[in-house]
Amino acid sequence: MDDIDSLLDSLIDRRKAAEVPPLDDKYAGTLEVKEILSKGQGVCTKQSISVNDPICSLSYPTMMAIDSENLPTTCYHCLVVTSSQLPLPGYGHASIELKTCNGCHSARFCGRTCQVKSWHAYHKYECKIFKKMQHNLPPAVLRAVLRTVLLKDRDMLSDEEWNRINAMASHEETLTARGRSNLTDMAEGIKMFAGSSMSVDKIQRLIFIMRANACELPTPVYGGIGVMLDPLVAKINHDCEPNLAIHRPQHTMTTGWMESEQLSEDERKTFVQLIPLRDIQAGEELLNCYVVPTVSVKARKAKLMEEYLFDCNCHKCQSDTKAIADLASEHPNLPTRFEQWTKDVQRHISRIKPKSSELQKATAAMNKSEQFLDYPVLYTSGDFPEMAMALVLEGLKAQAYGEALVNALRIYFLVNPQRFNSRHNPTNTYTIFLLLDIFDALLGTSTPPGTTNDKVVERIRHASTLGFSKSGLTCWRDRICADLRRRLEGTAAKDLLVLVEKREKQVEQLNSKKEDVSGEELRKAAEEEMRVALKLSDHKWKTVLQESGC
User: Where on the chain is the footprint of ligand SAM (CB under 6 A)?
Assistant: 38-42, 168-169, 212-213, 234-235, 237-238, 308-310, 312
Range 433-467 burial, b when 16+ CB lie within 10 A, else e: bbbbbbbbbbbbbbbbeebeeebbeebbeebeeeb
CB of 309 to ligand SAM, least distance (A): 5
Q: What values do phi and psi take at 310, rounded to 5? A: -140, 155
Nearer to ligand SAM, 170 or 363 (CB): 170
Nearest to 151 by CA among 194, 106, 104, 107: 194
What is the spatial distance between Cα 309 and Cα 182, in angstroms, rounded to a whole number?
17
Q: Is the dihedral of CA 102, 108, 113, 114 positive or negative?
A: negative
Nearer to ligand SAM, 78 or 314 (CB): 314
CB of 181 to ligand SAM, least distance (A): 17
CB of 366 to ligand SAM, least distance (A): 33
Cα–Cα distance list, 271 to 109, 248, 402 (Å): 17, 6, 36
CB of 201 to ligand SAM, least distance (A): 20
Single-letter residue type at 332: P
Nearer to ligand SAM, 163 or 407 (CB): 163
Q: To which H or E segment does residue 319 belong? A: helix 315-330
Nearer to ligand SAM, 70 or 237 (CB): 237
CB of 289 to ligand SAM, least distance (A): 10
Q: To which H or E segment does residue 436 belong? A: helix 426-443
Looking at beta carbons, which residue is closest to ligand SAM?
40
CB of 310 to ligand SAM, least distance (A): 4
Strands of 244-247's sheet, edge to edge?
56-58, 272-276, 244-247
Q: To which H or E segment does residue 362 belong? A: helix 358-367
Nearer to ligand SAM, 21 or 40 (CB): 40
What is the spatial distance between Cα 16 and Cα 383, in angstroms, rounded to a whole number?
45
The partner residues of 245 in beta bridges, in order of sequence, read 275
Helices 182-194 and 124-133, axial angle in degrees (round to 10):
120
Nearer to ligand SAM, 231 or 426 (CB): 231
Nearer to ligand SAM, 175 or 481 (CB): 175
CB of 489 to ligand SAM, least distance (A): 31
What is the spatial distance between Cα 160 and Cα 19, in angstroms, rounded to a whole number?
10
CB of 302 to ligand SAM, least distance (A): 14
Nearer to ligand SAM, 213 or 380 (CB): 213
Helices 453-465 and 426-443, axial angle in degrees (round to 10):
110
The 8-class DSSP code of residue 81 comes to B
CB of 308 to ligand SAM, least distance (A): 4
Nearer to ligand SAM, 119 or 208 (CB): 208
